């Protein structure tokens, strides 16, 4: 028969066991889709911006045609043939700052499905520098990737930045001492508001072999999409 003590013990252990099961499941499932590492922008001096003199932060990113560079290990991890951003995809930048991002774009490309994203949106002056040249848009038929930041409009200061990264020519030769051709170097700056959580992703469909080319690396964290924390 069941005594009061054994009932209490049984109920208590059932609840503790249940909580442990929930925690264990969370751990297993989270580690199945984990992304590692955060890249924080380095702050160096101040710069003038449309919002006055602000701390100046710098971020360096790259886009690769495969996953053998970036955070997936030298063998490319689970999907060596997926395109990826690097070095990591979780980014952190300071609040109320001018953030200058430099992206080395090593990948080829083609025609973007929505020409809106072949234009520059939300940067200082509405421009980006491509290999030193200031532009407001690129050839919609030769886009490699885009870097598009957005978020829920209501939870933090608005930040909508989208820049096209021009494609490297299909027949570009591999540069000496590298696995890739010479990249296009794209530089742009934007001004952050208060603290908030944003996400970014690529709007050039580059998940080859998947429906609408938006599966695979486009829909998997750690490849063509990540987070941007303004702190």
Interaction site with another protein (CB under 8 A) = 1-2, 6-7, 10-11, 13-15, 17-18, 21-22, 25-26, 28-30, 32-35, 113-114, 116, 121, 148, 150-155, 160, 162, 197, 199, 201, 203, 205, 209-212, 214-216, 218-221, 225
Residues 84 and 70: beta-carbon distance below 8 Å:
yes
What is the closest distance, in whole angstroms, from the C-beta atom of residue 15 to another protein in the complex?
Answer: 5
Placement of tokens 């924390």 in the chain = 229
Q: Residue 85 in contact with residue 102, Cβ under 8 Å?
A: no
Note whether 131 and 185 are within 8 A (CB): yes
Nearer to another protein by C-beta: 14 or 53?
14
- Strand 90-93: give its sheet, edge to edge: 38-40, 90-93, 225-230, 196-201, 143-150, 161-166
Complex with another protein: residue 106 or 214, whichever CB lies closer:
214
Q: How far is the CB of 214 from another protein (least distance, A)?
A: 5
Q: In the complex, what is the shortest distance from the CB of residue 74 to another protein, in angstroms, rounded to a whole number?
A: 22
Q: Rounded to the nearest whole angstrom, what is the least distance from the CB of residue 155 to another protein in the complex?
A: 5
Residue 2 or 133: the one with the smaller Cβ distance to another protein is 2
Least distance (Å) between residue 28 CB and another protein: 8
User: Cβ–Cβ contacts within 10 Å for residue 169, how many?
Assistant: 11
Which has the closest alpha carbon to 50: 97, 93, 95? 97
Nearest CB to another protein, comparing residues 102 and 227: 227
| Spatial distance between the Cα atoms of 62 and 98, rounded to a whole number of angstroms | 20
Kindly state the smallest distance separating residue 201's Cβ from another protein, in Å: 6
Query: Which residue, among 38, 72, 69, has the nearest Cα to 220 in the 3D structure?
Result: 72
Between residues 105 and 220, which has the closer beta carbon with respect to another protein?
Answer: 220
Residue with Cβ nearer another protein (62 or 225):
225
Question: Please, are residues 165 and 63 in contact by the beta-carbon 8 Å criterion?
Answer: yes
């Amino acid at each position: 028969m069941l005594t009061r003590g054994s009932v209490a013990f049984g109920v208590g252990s059932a609840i503790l066991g249940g909580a442990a099961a929930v925690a264990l499941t969370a751990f297993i499932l989270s580690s199945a889709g984990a992304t590692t590492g955060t890249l924080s922008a380095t702050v160096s001096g101040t710069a003038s911006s449309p919002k006055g003199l602000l701390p100046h932060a710098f971020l360096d990113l790259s886009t690769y045609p495969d996953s053998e560079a970036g955070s997936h290990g030298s063998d490319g991890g689970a999907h060596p043939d997926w395109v990826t951003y690097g070095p990591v995809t979780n980014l952190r930048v300071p609040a109320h700052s001018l953030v200058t991002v430099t992206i080395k774009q090593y990948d080829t490309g083609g025609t973007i499905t929505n020409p809106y994203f072949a234009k520059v949106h939300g940067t200082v002056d509405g421009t980006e520098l491509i290999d030193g040249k200031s532009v407001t848009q690129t050839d919609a038929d030769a886009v490699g990737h885009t870097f598009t930041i957005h978020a829920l409009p209501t939870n933090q200061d608005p930040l909508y930045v989208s820049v096209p990264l021009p494609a490297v020519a299909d027949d570009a030769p591999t540069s000496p001492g590298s696995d890739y051709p010479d990249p296009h170097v794209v530089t742009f700056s934007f001004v952050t508001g208060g603290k908030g959580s944003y996400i970014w992703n690529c709007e050039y469909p580059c998940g080859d072999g998947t429906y609408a080319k938006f599966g695979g690396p486009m829909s998997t964290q750690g490849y063509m999409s990540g987070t941007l924390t303004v702190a």
